[in-house]
Amino acid sequence: MDFLFTDFLGTPTWMWGIFITLVLGLLALDLGVLHKNSKEIGIKESLLMSGFYIAIGLAFGGWIWFQSGQQPAMEYVTGFVVEKSLAMDNIFIIAMIFSYFSIPRQYQHRVLLWGILGVIVLRGIMIAAGAAIVENFHWVLYLFAAFLVFTGIKMLFSADHEEQDIGKNPILKFLRSRLPVTEKLHEERFFVKQPDPKTGRLKTFVTPLFLALIMVEIADLIFAVDSIPAIFAITTDPFIVYTSNIFAILGLRALYFALAALIHRFAYLKYALAAVLVFVGSKIFLADMLGIAKIPPSISLGITVAILLTGIVGSLFATRNDKKVIDEV
């Protein structure tokens, strides 16, 4: 049992084991018990589920404080808040994907939840690679920081989200040309067997629900190019980076159904997210100017939360008279 106390990426193996067991347990509870049968998820249930995941994520931060001390815990919470905030911007893209494939609301949760498994693997690979690069080439952090500042400024001055033609996506075109795809959905199934129009023999086809899953995974992969450098700008501890990422995404998938209905109310959220990116990137250079190792995690967390609250409260106030109808499901 000595291997449980050996370090893996700077953290005892048993701590990694507890994290992975907790995440897999949550997924099994969600997919195998709470949502064993496909059903529509309303705003109320979405908010309750998200609150549950947020509570679990913050409790995990408290456990890190107990095991490793205040600074790692504060870095975890800061990373958790930044990741969850930035991931909200991905809701637009996911909503477009579901709309393009005409995925009914009762099947959307299934796509998002199975997508988590891909996120766990892909984020793990990207974070492990990033940690190895940063450990051997510390100056890469400055490239990450400059990239975040550039991305934040670009987001600040870019146009609002425009409706994209998902059908013109080259990856989707490639998938359609290589995979046999059914013309319509087959309830909640990703794969079905049906006669091949050319040979008449039974053949395995993928459904549009599976294509939607692949496109959601690709959207998350592209989004990770922004979010992972943002977390590395907060801490280079792979355990903190990975756990804060996964817990934030778990909660956001649950919150999707409420956000998709209410996203029109967050008129200034994009600008708040841009400001967060600029702040997270610039604080590395600011620390050098002040002659300190890094900005204290408590200050980083306070400023990040203040920026986000300003954007959210300002948005809700500006759209308080918005009469757009929200379908309560």
3-state helix, strand, coil in the chain (%, to 5): 75, 5, 20
Across 79-91, average pLDDT: 81
The answer to whether position 54 is within a domain reads yes
Out of 65-74, 108-117, 122-131, 301-310, the most confident range is: 65-74
Look at the alpha carbons of 99, 102, 106, 112 in this order and tell me if their dihedral is positive or negative. Answer: negative
Looking at residue 57, its pLDDT comes to 92
Q: Is 194 a domain residue?
A: no
Residue 193 lies in a domain: no
Residue 328 has pLDDT above 50, yes or no: no
Residues ≥6 apart with Cβ < 8 Å to 78? 234, 297, 300, 301, 304
Domain count, the chain: 1
**Planar angle of CA 114, 105, 314, nearest 5 degrees:** 95
Q: Return the closest-CA partner of residue 245 out of 120, 112, 103.
A: 120
Ranges 52-56, 215-219, 249-253: which has the least confidence: 249-253
Q: Is it the case that residue 41 has pLDDT exceeding 80?
A: no
Q: What is the pLDDT of residue 240?
A: 94
The number of beta carbons lying within 10 Å of the beta carbon of residue 47 is 16
CB–CB of 261/327 below 8 Å? yes
Mean pLDDT of 241-254: 85
Average pLDDT value for residue range 106-116: 84
Rounded Cα distance between 150 and 141, Å, is: 14
* pLDDT score at 34: 65
**Structural domain span for residue 111:** 2-155+209-318
More confident residue, 261 or 50: 50
Does 197 fall in a domain?
A: no
Separation CA 117–CA 249 (nearest Å) = 11
Res 33: pLDDT: 66
Residue 180 resides in a domain: no
Q: Nearest CA to 134 among 10, 237, 221? A: 237
Q: What is the CA radius of gyration of the chain?
A: 21
Query: Is 60 exceeded by the pLDDT of residue 161?
Result: no
Rounded-to-integer distance, Cα 100 and Cα 110, Å: 17
- Domain-embedded: residue 215: yes
Predicted confidence at residue 326, as pLDDT, reads 44
Task: Using alpha carbons, list the distances in angstroms from residue 181 to 88, 107, 172, 186.
Answer: 30, 18, 11, 11
21 in any annotated domain: yes
Q: Is residue 52 part of a domain?
A: yes
Q: What is the mean pLDDT of residues 202-224?
A: 88
| pLDDT higher than threshold 80 for residue 288 | no
Long-range contacts of range 240-244, CB-CB < 8 Å, 24 or more positions apart?
240/64, 240/72, 240/75, 240/76, 240/79, 241/79, 241/127, 241/130, 241/131, 242/123, 242/124, 242/127, 243/19, 243/60, 243/64, 243/76, 244/76, 244/77, 244/79, 244/80, 244/83
pLDDT at 327: 44
Q: Residue 156 in contact with residue 149, Cβ under 8 Å?
A: no
Q: Please choose, from the candidates 96, 112, 44, 71, the residue with its C-alpha nearest in 3D space to the C-alpha of residue 249.
A: 112
The band of 112, judged by pLDDT with boundaries at 50, 70 and 90, is: confident
When pLDDT is cut at 50, 70 and 90, the band that residue 160 belongs to is low
pLDDT band for position 37 (50/70/90)?
low
Per the prediction, the chain carries an average pLDDT of: 82
**Least reliable range by pLDDT among 38-47, 138-147, 246-255:** 38-47
Q: Between 251 and 56, whose confidence is greater?
A: 56
Q: Find the mean pLDDT for residues 256-262.
A: 73
Residue 9 reports pLDDT greater than 50: yes
- Asked whether 228 and 126 are in contact (CB, 8 A), the reply is yes
CA distances from 124 to 118, 130, 229 (A): 10, 10, 14
The predicted model scores a pTM of 0.80
DSSP 3-state assignment of 135?
Answer: helix
- 323 has pLDDT over 80: no
Q: How does residue 164 score in pLDDT terms, banded at 50, 70 and 90? A: low
